[in-house]
Amino acid sequence: MKTNRLHVFQVNIRLAPHLRRKPITPSDAPERKTGQGRNPFLNPDPNFVLSPVGPLHLLLLNKFCVYRPSLLLITKHFEQQSDDLDSGDIAAAWAVLKQYRQRYMLIYNCGFESGSSQGHKHMQLWEYPDEEELGFELFPNKADSEVDVASDIPHVPLKHFVLRLPPNADASTVFASYEKLVREVRRCHAEADGGRAYNVILVKEWMCLIPRRHSGLDRGAGANAAAVVGLVWITGQVERDIWTIPGPAEYFRHLGIPA
């Protein structure tokens, strides 16, 4: 884009009024602990299922979509959305990302405060956004090391931890990177607020983890992993004001841990 304002914090705000219909399981709902009750992922509609991914995961279409298409990678059996990803989750995620010919991105909202709407473990995927159209590059792209965690990318207002992934990385390599980043998130939370929630954003080239303090619902505008790398979804003007009146950077500092 046209502005070359590389040193200014930018976000893309997408108006998607139909997301008002998306249910959000409350943080204290028993479904988040047991998987019982209203759990759309325990026996998903077979019409939505695209493929099993190994013995433990299913790839299916999301019911409430911002992008065409939007996908879910869920565990077949109930596991809590507040759990870390394990090596099987990462292997399934990596297999799916590698299988798409188009460049896809995958997110995982770990814990209620990270913006997860359901308590059953699920990851989400969609095509990587066109950065020309956005007018800016997602900030994790600026990380340059596969070894040293990037945690001070300029002008990012909240704590973040990013590793590049080597070309032809396999699932073990990706999982090792994830574990390294989770340790940084744990350390960051311990120093800040003792929380546990965080977002994961994974593409073939990098992985980014962002510790979270608030879901945003406490102020009326929820935010998931996409939002905290600059892809904000809103349902109307009220939510837009929540983001823009204090300024996106200020809202980011509320959602995460100020950098």
Partner 1 sequence: MVFLVLANKAAYLLDPPSKRLLSYALRHSDISLNRGIRGVHHSGSKPWVDVFKVRNARRTIVDTRESLIPQSRRLKHQSTMENCSPTPNGVLSKAAAFSLPSDLDSLSLSTFDNLVTKGEIIYEPSTSETVEDQGFKVSEVNGTFSITRMLWGR
Kindly identify the residues of this chain, within the stretch 202-231, that bind partner 1 according to CB under 8 A. Answer: none
Site string (163-202) toward partner 1, x via CB under 8 A = -----x-xxx--x---------------------------
Helix axes 171-192, 87-99, angle to 10 degrees: 120
Return the closest-CA partner of residue 193 out of 149, 252, 256: 256
Kindly identify the residues of this chain, within the stretch 110-169, that bind partner 1 according to CB under 8 A. Answer: 133-136, 157, 168
Q: Which is nearer to partner 1, 186 or 246 (CB)?
A: 246
What letters, b where the CB count within 10 A reaches 16 and e where it falls short, cover 226-247? Answer: bbbbbbbbbbeeebeebbbeee
Q: Which is nearer to partner 1, 51 or 145 (CB)?
A: 51
Alpha carbons 189 and 62: distance in angstroms, whole number = 31
Any idea which residue has 């003007």 for tokens? 237
Q: Sign of the CA dihedral 173, 152, 227, 23?
A: positive
Q: Shortest gap between Cβ of 68 and partner 1 (angstroms)?
A: 6
Q: Does 46 bind partner 1 (CB under 8 A)?
A: no
Q: Phi and psi dihedrals of 107, rounded to 5?
A: -125, 155
Residues of this chain that interact with partner 1 (CB under 8 A) are: 1-3, 5, 8-18, 21-22, 45, 47-48, 50-51, 53-56, 59, 61-66, 68-71, 86-88, 91-92, 94-96, 98-102, 133-136, 157, 168, 170-172, 175, 233, 241, 244-250
